[in-house]
Structure 1
Amino acid sequence: MAQFYSAKQRVTTKQRITVTISELDPFGQGVARHNGKALFVSGALPGEQAEVTVTEDKRQFMRAKAHRILQPCAQRETPRCGHFGVCGGCQQQHAAVALQQASKAQALSRMLSQEGAPPVSVDTIISGQPWGYRRRARLGLQWQPRQQRLLMGFRQAASNDLVALRQCPILVPELEALLQPLHQCLSSLNAVRRLGHVELVLADNGPLMVLRHLDALSAADREKLERFSHEHRLMTWLADGSDSLQPLQEAMPFYRSFDLQLTFSPQDFIQVNDAVNQQMVAQALAWLDLQPDDRVLDLFCGMGNFTLPIGKFVQNVVGVEGVAALVRQAEYNAQLNNLRNVCFFQHNLEEEVSRQPWAAQGFNKVLLDPARAGAAGVMSHVVKLAPERVVYVSCNPVTLARDSQTLLSAGYHLERVAMLDMFPHTSHLESMVLFSKT
């Protein structure tokens, strides 16, 4: 008689324990110790005693969710957004802004410090208004056939499902005010079942929208969108999946920086937090100590966020960027602002750079602003240039710490560190570091 083995189902119970939180990590999780392991607790803050439910128990760490706060700390705040805890956009609205900034600065200091060397301190925290700061947002659109309704919102935490967004207090007020009327407009379209996403941006000359649609829009739908755009003074582009956007009206968005007018396409990357961006650019220029005879290299330059302001103060500045469309926009803005000492090159900076026409020029100062992957492919070339000063702007402290080793090994000194509070209430940790060679 054949016997079949039937494995017993593993029964897991979610352990509930009481712990005291010692610190806040940069992702907004409280940190405690339990059974010799680090325990990361979502929803708990330093100094709090909390009853928590363990959700994950690994060999070296544990994760848990706060079930009940027994002793709340003075830096706990009531979240402003009704979607907090469900929406994946913010992780730290329950913590005072000062606590958020301090925890990120401590994490940055820890990641940049080396064993056996004095700890690296964060000199400056560059920040702006903690609410109403976000001038760009991409909202998902999803038709729900059972409820016969259109969902519009950000993704839920750890999910592909959308939050039905009613408010968003981190959006600039001009964009937050559009949320409900825009949802009503899109819900009335014949193509409501075949919409992809919508992107909202606030330029200095008004708000703009890019609507991604999966099928061709009818004349009636276009008319509704045109009427909505006119009523709300909204620059609108339609995106059907091709490489180009179709404008509903002739308009060119722009923003101002250092008395320069910088135009951009709705598809171009611009910094989300304008106030912090302005301060960041000013601080970078001050750290570079720009002089009239300087020759500056700006790597990963985008559409010239740093390059063009630098051009106002130096003999020559060269920007290098991998995205051709951004290079074209940067060149246009240099001409628009009559900056004839600025030039741009398109090159993938993850590839060999030594034979590039710009690479052999005698630069005495360098700025880098890479994406999350960092600048590993170009750091050795920066060292060969032997600039007096290097300013590294980072959106990922892990790759910043890695790339810093190349400069430190080549005799550079880490002079200044700034934490950029570009995204309050979120886990994003951005920074800027000055290196000098003596």
Structure 2
Amino acid sequence: MPTGIIESLDHEARGITRRDGKTIFVDAALPGEEVEYASFRQKSRYELAHLVQVLRASPARVTPKCPHFGVCGGCAMQHMEAGAQLAAKQRVLEDSLWHIGRVRPAQILPPVQGPSWGYRHRARLGVRKLAAQDTMLIGFHEWRSSYIADIRECHVMPPPVSALLMPLRALLGGLSIAERLPQIEVAVGERCTALVLRILQKLSKQDEAALRAFADQHQVVFYLQPKGPETAERFYPLPGPPLTYVLPEFDLEFAFRPTDFTQVNHAMNRVLLRRAVQLLDPQPGERIADMFCGLGNFTLPIARRGAQVLGVEGSSALLERAREAARQHGLDGQVKFVGANLFACSESWLAGLGAFDKMLIDPPREGALELCKALGHQAAQRLVYVSCNPATLARDAGVLCALKGYRLQAAGVINMFAHTAHVESIALFERA
């Protein structure tokens, strides 16, 4: 069986070694280790392999806390010490910026680390009834598989949510629609926890009674979702506190629906906002654009600093909630929201919004290529880019620096998803 020395990690946290001119990606191997591996997929230029045995371990290797690590695909880095995880993610960011965008930041921002356990306030869990075993599976998908992992605890979710996994199995397994219930979405707020059941068939009266009893016993709120995310409606209990998250530094509280996009890690979201606002440095009287503004997560904190802010978002539902949050906090005189598809914007459309002193961009994984291309000669002097995908950030950074006259002043990682390969980052660009 072949052996190799692991050089580094790739963007999926796989170890990289080489043999006979081919790159070998080895699951669960760490840089500096000598490992024995077995390939399960072979191509002309690379191979994918499982780790068979660690012959010489890295000092960064630790014992995973979760007994399901290696089977459950929810985490990829629990076997790696927390500081080493951050260093690996910083390297992924820097490598992406250079190899894809051909840019290097003038300054590397110190990486930010937060809670490593119990941080995941949002999760989408698969559900599957195994009739032959007379059991119900609830969990993330298995590593590199469409099968649902047989998990009984989850340490990256808050302990009260992890404690619900086994009771939920019993509850859902006893419903008449157990085989027509493929998914549960979990959303944890400040004052309640919501469970959204994706149902492909109507509940019976007995099912409804069972859900009510479970909600009363475990102090959760059930939502039912018969079709797309917009169809999710509160089922029980109907009265009660809404889902919210708070930003104490800015004296803000945002209400959201359980299927809305919000950051999964509330503590790190606060840190991310602090760093973004520091880098943007909004001043009273400035006009600032918040692109892909969503619920106003960045819009309202920027307005708290006295700036006039325009939030632009493609989802009308999110814009409605952003406007309501601005009204509730007395900021509707400082913020304005516009609906637009930022994946198809043009230079003339963007110019029609007027001049901005500064701009914040927080796109989804697809990045903001068309927006970056649309920036004209009156573009903002300072631009802060928050990214959940270092590859698209690097691509867009290449456009900003090579074609739009910006310099990449600083960049760094925010460890929003501890123990996963997900790299959240922030970058500061300024006009040359």
Interval of TM-score (by shorter of Structure 1 and Structure 2): over 0.9
Counterpart residue identity of residue 256, structure 1: V
The Cα of 1:291 is off from its aligned counterpart by 0.6
Match of 1:299 among 285, 291, 295: 291
1:250 aligns with 2:239: yes
Q: Select the residue among 185, 188, 197 that pairs with 1:202.
A: 188
Deviation at 1:246, TM superposition (A): 2.8
Sort the Cα spacing of 1:358 and 1:215 in 2 relative to 1 into closer, same or farther, 3 A: farther
- The answer for unaligned runs of 5 or more in structure 2 is none
Q: Is the 8 A contact 2:347 2:375 kept in 1?
A: no
2:90 is equivalent to residue 100 of structure 1: no
The answer to whether residue 356 in structure 2 is matched with residue 363 in structure 1 is yes
Structure 2 match to 1:286: 278
The structure with the largest helix share of the pair is 2
State the one-letter code of the partner of 1:29: R
Spell out structure 1 runs of 4+ moving beyond 4 A: 114-121, 353-358
Which protein, 1 or 2, shows the higher relative CO under an 8 Å CA cutoff with sep ≥ 6?
2
Q: Give the 5 Å matches for 1:1-80.
A: 16-80=1-65
Query: How many Å separate the matches in 2 of 1:22 and 1:175?
Result: 38
Letter in 1 for 2:354: Q
Q: Quick check: 220-229 or 118-127, which moved more?
A: 118-127
Shift of 1:395: 1.1
Contact 1:28 1:100 in 2 (8 A): no
What is the letter of the counterpart of residue 329 of structure 2?
N
Match of 2:416 in 1: 422
SS in 2 for 1:255: strand
Query: Greater CA radius of gyration, 1 or 2?
Result: 1
Residue matched to 1:184? 170
Contact 1:110 1:119 in 2 (8 A): no
Aligned partner of 1:264 in structure 2 is 256
Q: How far apart, in 1, do the equivalents of 2:307 and 2:31 lie?
A: 50
- Kept after mapping to 2: 8 A contact 1:174/1:207: no
Q: Provide the alpha-carbon RMSD of the alignment.
A: 2.0
Looking at structure 2, the residues matched to 92 and 262 of structure 1 have their Cα atoms a distance apart, in angstroms, of 31
> Does the C-alpha gap of structure 1 residues 292 and 84 become closer, same or farther in structure 2, counting only changes over 3 Å?
same
1:354, CA displacement in angstroms? 4.9
- Partner AA of 2:283 in structure 1: Q
* 1:49-100 per-position Cα deviation (integer Å, ceiling 9, x unaligned): 1111233343333332221111112211111111111111111111111111
Residue 194 (structure 1) shift: 2.0
8 A Cα contact 1:354 1:360, kept in partner:
no
Q: Does 1:277 align with 2:262?
A: no
CA–CA distance in structure 1, aligned partners of residues 109 and 233 of structure 2: 46
User: Aligned with 1:175: secondary structure?
Assistant: helix
**Corresponding position of 1:387:** 380
Q: Cα distance, 1:303 vs. partner?
A: 0.8
Query: Partner residue of 2:72?
Result: 87
Is the Cα contact below 8 Å between 1:90 and 1:425 reproduced in 2? yes
Deviates more, 1:70-79 or 1:383-392: 383-392
CA deviation after TM superposition for structure 1 residue 37, in Å? 2.9
**How far did residue 228 of structure 1 move?**
1.1
Aligned-residue offset at 1:362: 2.0
Post-superposition Cα deviations, 1:162-208, rounded to whole Å, max 9, x if no partner, equal 11220111112221122122222222222222212111111011211
Instruction: Using structure 1 for the length normalisation, give the TM-score.
Output: 0.92
